[in-house]
Structure 1
Amino acid sequence: MDHEQAFELLAGYIDDELSLSEALEFERHLAGCEACKRAYEQQRKVSAQLRQADLRLEAPAELVKRIRASLPGRRSWWQRLAARFGAEGGAGGFAGFGTRGGTLGWGPVGVMALSLVALSWSAGLYLSMPSGNSRLTEELVDSHVRSLQFNHLYDVISTDRHTVKPWFDGKLDFAPPVVDLAQQGYPLVGGRLDYLDGRAVAVMVYRYKLHPINLYVWPGNDASATPRLSERQGYHLAHWSAGGMNYWAVTDAGDTELDGFLAALRAHSAS
């Protein structure tokens, strides 16, 4: 990480908005860079001062009253709709029962209409929300793209699985399986930590020629043993579970190359 990248991440680090891997990379850079340390301390002090209560000014009650009085008295859409039904109910009604003079006013009809509108809106909002799996897929693609943009594919760089696997010790609450697929054309090049679906995960990084393949692993059994393939934003993904672990592979390589990687990885795990 250079100075320019560090300054871009500085505000996010102070506000706890960085991912786990970004925060770790920033802290490593900070440990060896006096200029960035000074910039960090200055911005941290400014941020702390801005949060002090004595810098906030409480508006006088009379000022608040005048401002509110000057605002236009615009009713909400719900209020206007209820008023409309109430006005129409006063001019006429339906023949019915249980009301004075045998007339059913528009008030109950208005309430029913509002309830139906609210129910329809809630149902539409629920249906438009992405599913948990869809949100996770978006997180994975964002993580993959972010690792390329910040040139941070790995926290540990090594083609030796006996170096990569022990690196995760003490950093995770599980031991991720790490295999070497160099002979199959998918060499291991390193590993890193990431944060997905509300937890820390392991990422093993492989390559097919110039195409990186991020293999995300964490405990669970959320999918079938047969990989399920999908595509999002031009990236190819595969998801499966095996041996008590969830696996996601993400790459910009083609379907054929991803199929070859999956076959090699699953054959090695089964042996």
Structure 2
Amino acid sequence: MTCDEAEILLQALIDGELDAGHARDVENHVEGCPHCAAMLKDYREMSKAMADDGVRYTAPPALRARIEAALPQPRQLQSRRAVLRGFAMGSAVSALAATGLVAIVLRHDDMERIQSEVVSAHLRSLQAGHLTDVISTDQHTVKPWFNGRLDVSPPVIDLTAQGFTLIGGRLDYVDARAIGAVVYRRRQHVINLFVSQTASTEHRPARIETIQGFNIRHWSDRGLNYWAVSDLAKDELADFGERFESSMRSGTAG
């Protein structure tokens, strides 16, 4: 483990958010790295100080009023509802509504919030016992497990031969909706592939961004949104996404 990787996970270690394997890796690195050991000590002292009631700050009413004034007003919210009603008039979305499916319509100004929630879901998964609901390296075991638990079951692809080991799947929640997460591992790095339904069937090319020290590769295809999240380097995460998309095009998905 490098110092850059350890620094990302130090806070999660303090908060007890890492599984046993990741916690052990960080602790082993800290034992042999004076720089990270000092940083961990500083973080722990800071957390202890912040827990003291004497340093807590209560926001004044004026600040609350300013924040509320900056939030979307009822007219803006009504406008969003009108947009959603307009989508509902289309035959495709009407068919979804008739079968009880819910389409996630993402606006550009929602993207940053959604990606932050995806990173939070990734961090939650690193807690002990939270990574998988079904453990299997067999795509034909993981794929059927989602059936009946989600309206649209995410595609599951075995990329073990390409260096990305399928280890299972689970249900998670993003934007207050149930979402499927297919879990892979690259060496000691976890990759969560979150999959949700979208109203659009057009293909949107992949983009990679970094949020809170984690890389996110996001793309859309065939009515599904994909977010691959990991602390892997961007080039390796891009390689994972390209191999996944290539397998989807060749029809090898489970």
Quickly name the TM-score band, shorter chain normalised: 0.5 to 0.7
Alignment of 1:268 onto 2:247? yes
Distance 2:183 2:67 in 1: 42
The residue type paired with residue 243 of structure 1 is R
Match of 1:258 in 2: 237
Question: What is the Cα deviation at residue 126 of structure 1?
Answer: 4.6
Match of 1:201 in 2: 179
1:133 aligns with one of 105, 111, 130: 111
What is the TM-score of this pair, normalised by structure 1?
0.52
- Contact persistence 1:221–1:242 (CA under 8 A): no
Q: Percent identity?
A: 45
Return 5+ residue gaps in structure 2 as ranges.
1-60, 73-107
The residue type paired with residue 223 of structure 2 is G
Distance 2:243 2:115 in 1: 23
2:122 aligns to what SS in structure 1? helix
Alignment of 1:176 onto 2:154? yes
Distance 2:236 2:140 in 1: 25
2:145 aligns with one of 164, 167, 176: 167
- Contact persistence 2:217–2:238 (CA under 8 A): no
Distance 2:186 2:219 in 1: 20
Distance 1:224 1:131 in 2: 20
The residue type paired with residue 267 of structure 1 is S
Taking a change above 3 Å as real, the CA distance of residues 210 and 125 of structure 1, as seen in their structure-2 partners, is: same
Runs of 4+ in 1 over 3 A off after TM superposition: 121-124, 221-224
- Contact persistence 1:221–1:241 (CA under 8 A): no
Distance 2:142 2:177 in 1: 20
Question: What is the Cα deviation at residue 235 of structure 1?
Answer: 0.2
Considering Cα pairs closer than 8 Å and 6+ residues apart, tell me whether 1 or 2 has the greater RCO.
2
1:227 aligns to what SS in structure 2? strand
Give deviations 1:57-89, integer Å, cap 9, x for gaps.
xxxxxxxxxxxxxxxxxxx98xxxxxxxxxxxx
Alignment of 1:234 onto 2:216? no
The residue type paired with residue 122 of structure 2 is H
How many residues are paired up?
Answer: 152
Return 5+ residue gaps in structure 1 as ranges.
1-75, 78-117
The residue type paired with residue 186 of structure 1 is F
- Contact persistence 1:221–1:246 (CA under 8 A): no
The residue type paired with residue 268 of structure 1 is S
Match of 2:75 in 1: none
The residue type paired with residue 206 of structure 1 is Y
- Contact persistence 2:203–2:222 (CA under 8 A): no
Output aligned runs, 1:58-69, within 5 Å: none
2:126 aligns to what SS in structure 1? helix
Distance 1:131 1:243 in 2: 23
Alignment of 1:153 onto 2:131? yes
1:231 aligns to what SS in structure 2? strand
2:204 aligns to what SS in structure 1? coil
Match of 2:167 in 1: 189
